[in-house]
Amino acid sequence: MSRFVRFIVTSDHDCETRCTGVVASLRILGEEGLLADYHLKTSQEIFDELNENMPCPPFDTKNIDVNGVCWFKSSATHWINLFREIIAILEDSDIQTKMLRTDKPGMILYEDDVQVVAKSKHY
Q: Hey, where are the domains in the chain?
A: 4-119
pLDDT for 13 equals 56
Task: Give the C-alpha separation, 94 to 2, whole Å.
Answer: 27
pLDDT for 122 equals 79
Considering the entire predicted model, what is its pTM? 0.87
Residue 69 burial by CB count (10 A; 0-12/13-18/19+): exposed, middle or buried? buried
Q: Tell me the pLDDT of the chain (123 aa) as tens digits.
A: 689 999 999 865 565 555 678 999 999 999 999 999 999 999 999 999 999 999 998 877 776 766 788 999 999 999 999 999 999 999 999 999 999 999 999 999 999 999 999 998 877
